[in-house]
Amino acid sequence: MNRKALRTCTYGLYLITSRKGERLNGQIANTVFQVASDPATIAVAINRQNLTHEFISDSRAFAASILSQDAPLSFIGLFGFQSGRNVDKLKDARYELGGTKVPIVIDYSLSYLEAKVVDQLEVGTHTIFVGELVGAEILREGEPMTYHYYREIKRGTTPKTAPSYIEEKKEAKSEMEKYECTVCGYIYDPEPGDPENGVKPGTPFQAIPDDWVCPVCGAGKDQFEKV
């Protein structure tokens, strides 16, 4: 069995938000899909360990912001690699409250869907929440971020808690040495560099300024190890 076949499935990239009492939280998910048309119903798979899972279980509602291709890795990293148990992820985000009172994040979002949970299915590490659509709006024009674009073009990584996580054996050979973030698994590759954060293509790791941080999770340069 070649699990890499799973990689050929196509997905988007979404910011899933919910609330518990006065607390708000959100996380990245690649699995949001419409499952019925009348009434319009969507589903999302959320890891049972995640704080957002606890919030959706409590409020029985969630929103999904459809992320744009121009969403920076730092934004995706904040929601995808940090836990709401340690940081207030919505502190600097622009959001409004939907009819169900869940936060709907506007930043880097093309549109949003808001749903109230009508059913759920436990699947191994994850719960599939099924939600009836109670709100939806288009915010602006643009290209939606696909999971493929995130991984291949933006060179983003996947946390171990994602349904699509596949353990990778890192390739060793390269003329210019690659460095891996020990926090999130992001690989710094000198060939493309990190132009989004001012590091030109062809910059060896040693030549990156010391205040540069992991574009995905924000870890410092000292948290990187040679691959």
**Nearest distance from C-beta of residue 155 to Fe ion, angstroms:** 12
d(CA 209, CA 227): 19
| Position 73 contacts Fe ion (CB under 5 A) | no
One residue of 186, 188, 205, 224 binding Fe ion per CB under 5 A: 186
Q: Which pair of tokens denotes residue 37?
A: 């048309």
Residue with tokens 């798979």: 45
Q: Which residues contact 210 (CB under 8 A, 6 or more apart)?
A: 221
Sole binder of Fe ion in the list 24, 73, 199, 216 (CB under 5 A): 216
CB atoms within 10 A of CB 102: 27
Task: Compare residues 147 and 188 and give the one whose CB is closer to Fe ion.
Answer: 188
- Contact flag: residue 208 with Fe ion (CB under 5 A): no
Q: Is 184 in the site for Fe ion (CB under 5 A)?
A: yes
Percentages (nearest 5) of helix, strand, coil residues in the chain: 20, 35, 45
Closest CB 73 distance from Fe ion, rounded Å: 9
Stretch touching Fe ion by CB under 5 A, among 19-27, 144-152, 191-199, 213-221: 213-221
Candidates 62-70, 83-91, 137-145, 183-191; binding stretch for Fe ion (CB under 5 A) = 183-191
- Sorted by sequence, the CB contacts under 8 Å of residue 114 that are 6+ apart come out as 61, 62, 63, 64, 98, 99, 100, 102, 104, 133, 134, 135, 136
Among the residue ranges 64-72, 124-132, 172-180, 210-218, the one whose residues contact Fe ion (CB under 5 A): 210-218
Site track 128-167 with Fe ion (rule: CB under 5 A), x = hit: ----------------------------------------
Asked if 223 contacts 182 with a C-beta cutoff of 8 angstroms, the reply is yes
Shortest Å distance, C-beta 187 to Fe ion = 10
